Amino acid sequence: MLSSSYICRNNSNPNLRDMIIGVPKEIKNNENRVALTPAGAKELVKRGHSVYVQHTAGEGSGFTDDQYTEAGAAILPTIEDVYAIAEMIMKVKEPIEPEYKLIKEDQLLFTYFHFASYEPLTKAMVASKSVCLAYETVEKADRSLPLLVPMSEVAGRMAIQKGANYLEKPLGGRGILLGGVPGTLPAKVIILGGGVVGTQAAWMAAGLGADVTIMDVSLPRMRYLADVMPANVKTMMSNEYNVREMIKDADLIVGAVLIPGAKAPHLITRDMLADMKKGAVLVDVAVDQGGCIETCKPTTHENPTYVIDEVVHYCVANMPGAVPYTSTLALTNATLPYAIQLADKGWKRAAQENAELVPGLNVIHGDIVYKAVAEAFDMDYVPVDKYLVD
């Protein structure tokens, strides 16, 4: 096991401290993304930080160990080595059970967590007394989620790509072509939620010629979408009555509902499946937040679908992992500026000086400091100010 004595600390700015950053290889099923590109590693190394990347961590995204070493990073052979040496761990997906024991007290973890959908993870991170800063709840003043946006863009587009595929008869679908052909009607696509995922899904479905309806609860958002979307995209207020009516004729339904940091509400319940067409397809992009379809359960790229009441469910929890080259580049573009701040200043000072990072803090030294996570499991909540006030 390596120790920090191996690190050469050479930052010439006395107001900054060098940080040891670890990038482990993702071990979740068929997760091929990596948290940092060689270009991102180079930017951190240029600032005097030490970057340790696990052997072959970038291969799934098309980046070799040699590219990382050329960028100034060091390669470590095992995931245990990376966790042992790092002060900040950069990941893509939440730690899974084999990683729990590797996480150290005071270690900063910067990754997607989606705590509210999985109590064992929450309890494990509380027990570790680490500092958990979640990509998905970093928030700008306008309430946008800058680190969720790039993966939401990918997932929204993929939802249509995958949905169109599973509408094919050999894969269990109705056997309908999304855009139809002259003389036939196109497929009807319902998108639940008009945020980033829903908007990207609508553009893709519309581009393929489908008959698209976006359902949302915000009139201002629907006015905006009505202005920018092509003529084959309509908007409708989302409520239980309208959802029940619309799904009767739907061929493809995309669940794209997000409540930042909290569990997604169930907009389609089990009993509603009986009203749907046989061979219709449900794609629940909200699955990593618990899903907005009651019959949703997380699946993997290895076994992506299952059928309930003759309705095909596609509920892969890491959809962007199927296009890791695009996803890794898009993710690093968004996360790197924040990673630099965390490395340069440490998490506390970085959060004090950049309010966007404050809601990203979910668990600190055994305390849950994000209210929606505490409420999801009826656990104690501690205001984050406890840790940010000097």
Quick one: average pLDDT of 34-43? 98
Delineate the domains of the chain, giving CATH numbers in brackets: 4-130+324-388 (3.40.50.720), 151-322 (3.40.50.720)
81, 288, 344, 367: the active-site residue: 288
Residue 1's pLDDT band (cuts 50, 70, 90): very low
Averaged pLDDT of the chain: 93
- Amino acid type, 129: K
pLDDT tens readout for residues 125-139:
999 999 999 999 999
What is the phi-psi region of residue 294: left when phi exceeds 0, alpha when psi lies from -120 to 50, beta otherwise?
Answer: alpha
Q: Which helix (H) or strand (E) holds 212?
A: strand 211-216
CA distances from 157 to 162, 199, 313 (A): 9, 9, 17
18, 49, 81, 114: the active-site residue: 114
Quick one: average pLDDT of 255-284? 91
Binding site: residue ranges?
33, 93, 152, 216, 221, 238, 257-258, 285-288, 316-319
Question: Is 266 assigned a catalytic role?
Answer: no
Quick one: average pLDDT of 246-255? 97
Residue 29 is predicted with a pLDDT of 83
Predicted confidence (pLDDT) at residue 153 exceeds the cutoff of 50 = yes
pLDDT tens readout for residues 311-352:
999 999 889 989 999 999 999 999 999 999 999 999 999 999
Residue 17's pLDDT band (cuts 50, 70, 90): low
C-beta contacts of 271-274 below 8 A and 24+ residues apart: 272/243, 272/244, 272/247, 273/308, 273/309, 273/311, 274/309
Cβ atoms of 150 and 126 closer than 8 Å:
no
Quick one: average pLDDT of 370-384? 95
Report the C-alpha gap between 318 and 27 in whole angstroms: 12
Cβ atoms of 219 and 196 closer than 8 Å:
no
DSSP string, 80-99: HHHHHH-SEEE-SSPP-HHH
pLDDT tens readout for residues 70-107:
999 999 999 999 999 999 999 999 999 999 999 999 99
Residue 181 is predicted with a pLDDT of 97
Binding site for NAD(+): residue ranges?
152, 216, 221, 238, 257-258, 285-288, 316-319
Quick one: average pLDDT of 221-243? 97
Parallel, antiparallel, or unpaired for β 233-237 and 305-308?
Answer: unpaired
What is the phi-psi region of residue 170: left when phi exceeds 0, alpha when psi lies from -120 to 50, beta otherwise?
Answer: alpha
Predicted confidence (pLDDT) at residue 28 exceeds the cutoff of 70 = yes
Binding site for substrate: residue ranges?
33, 93
Question: Is 284 assigned a catalytic role?
Answer: no
Quick one: average pLDDT of 6-25? 63
Predicted confidence (pLDDT) at residue 12 exceeds the cutoff of 70 = no
pLDDT tens readout for residues 189-210:
999 999 999 999 999 999 999 9
Number of H helices, E strands in the chain: 12, 15
Residue 6's pLDDT band (cuts 50, 70, 90): very low
pLDDT tens readout for residues 357-376:
999 999 999 999 999 999 99
pLDDT tens readout for residues 158-177:
999 999 999 999 999 999 99
